[in-house]
Structure 1
């Protein structure tokens, strides 16, 4: 899938490309590794992501449908709050509608709150499933790291950014991926009343940020390709003007 290829490309760009070297080439007991890059390269991670996409696709379709319904229901109400009819609801217009207790604005807020609550309920099982898989993968990573540390007699592991210069031998990413791949799958169904560790929540946030950046990059590339195609077409119209700086959508979609 395109999003996975872009995601993988961004991860590759965030870490140095290294050659596989024998354990005897380890430099003075010092090693470097990018934990995020290693985990997201592992079979357990990529398989879990595929399983989650497949298992929860119907729920994600429901969420998209609910978001679309909110947008449809909100459109006529937003038009009444947009008093200067410029197609945007400014902060001042929103505050004015709230201050005068505009019934349309009140109804809009009610619709948004209802949509948010429903979407959060729909999202929760898939969020917990992802967290459960991530926690299992992090546990595998811990065990893999201990195995590589003992095998290579490593005393110190540093983030790659902390090193000004080092030979390729200090990077143990490939060794850790190989160790992780000995367990190619993890469960994605948490037991009842299971709660994730704080470390797992932080890891999920990091993954989501990488995905967000990957989606932005993919969107920018698609837009550039469209613009290049339009410019190459004979008689193509001039590209549309960009929205004014600071312009904001009429109302954010519920998440």
Structure 2
């Protein structure tokens, strides 16, 4: 499954998907639109995400390498704090190590802070680039929505989940996507000292949450397929019931 298809699946699981709308007048001036679904379907959004993935892949590889280095350097120190030897450091074990001023714990915190600082510095250019692209796309969305509102004489726009029943003509999502797609690309390089609007930061947080859910869905489906494949293998013991699966922790972007 491609990244975009998994992302769409997460969106479908988290919000009501808009229904395709015919090019007819709105009902009593009322319309519905799923803003997040519309923006993430737009060519400008998918193209920007692809460009960011390509442009900042070397940096993301550096980040992954730095995370791996910290995990390697920290392994021996963590083992000394893990007093019950269960392979994990509980909150109680961490508090106990801090209380007794364990030098291994102090060194571990130093390594973690150093890694975090380096990773944040590496991440900042790509984060700003994504925010810059998103701010451009949000401005395009505002203009596209207003164009459709004026063309269809819409007086009120509601989220789809706020509607118990409405005919298909109420939804304007496809019309706004079509208007958005008249501008298929946006810039991803912010000027010096550029700062994003709060709205843009909030939108990026929503996108990141959808990506997290997408990774969880993909991991859960992959695990389910593995279990089904193992159950169907010749000579495999058939389980009495399918075990519950816990979604894997998503990989960082």
TM-score by length of 2: 0.91
Partner of 2:82: 82
Equivalenced residues, count: 245
Partner of 1:16: 17
Per-residue CA deviations over 1:45-64 (Å, capped at 9, x if unaligned) read 00000000000000000000
The aligned runs of 1:138-153 (5 Å cut-off) are: 138-153=138-153
Secondary structure of 1:31's counterpart equals: strand
9-18 or 115-124, larger mean C-alpha shift: 9-18
Distance in 2 (alpha carbons) for counterparts of 1:180 and 1:3: 21
Q: Does 1:193 align with 2:193?
A: yes
Asked whether the 8 Å contact 1:15–1:37 carries over to 2, the reply is no
Asked whether the 8 Å contact 1:3–1:215 carries over to 2, the reply is no
Distance in 2 (alpha carbons) for counterparts of 1:220 and 1:131: 29
Partner of 1:172: 172
Secondary structure of 1:207's counterpart equals: helix
- Superposed CA RMSD: 2.3
Would you identify which runs of 4 or more consecutive aligned residues in structure 1 move more than 3 Å? 234-239
Per-residue CA deviations over 1:105-124 (Å, capped at 9, x if unaligned) read 11100000000000000000
Q: Does 1:6 align with 2:26?
A: no
Distance in 1 (alpha carbons) for counterparts of 2:106 and 2:252: 16
Partner of 2:26: 26
Distance in 1 (alpha carbons) for counterparts of 2:98 and 2:18: 55
Distance in 2 (alpha carbons) for counterparts of 1:44 and 1:64: 28
Q: Does 1:182 align with 2:164?
A: no
Partner of 1:205: 205
Distance in 2 (alpha carbons) for counterparts of 1:184 and 1:232: 46
Shift of residue 100, structure 1, vs aligned partner: 1.0
Shift of residue 3, structure 1, vs aligned partner: 2.4
Shift of residue 91, structure 1, vs aligned partner: 1.3
Shift of residue 93, structure 1, vs aligned partner: 1.2
Shift of residue 254, structure 1, vs aligned partner: 9.9
Partner of 2:126: 126
The gaps in structure 2 that reach 5 residues or longer are none
Shift of residue 238, structure 1, vs aligned partner: 9.0
TM-score by length of 1: 0.90
Asked whether the 8 Å contact 2:33–2:172 carries over to 1, the reply is yes
Shift of residue 11, structure 1, vs aligned partner: 2.5
Distance in 2 (alpha carbons) for counterparts of 1:87 and 1:38: 44
Per-residue CA deviations over 1:84-103 (Å, capped at 9, x if unaligned) read 21222111111111111111
Q: Does 1:70 align with 2:70?
A: yes
Per-residue CA deviations over 1:229-248 (Å, capped at 9, x if unaligned) read 12222344799xx9xx9xxx
Distance in 2 (alpha carbons) for counterparts of 1:86 and 1:20: 56
Q: Does 1:115 align with 2:115?
A: yes
The gaps in structure 1 that reach 5 residues or longer are none
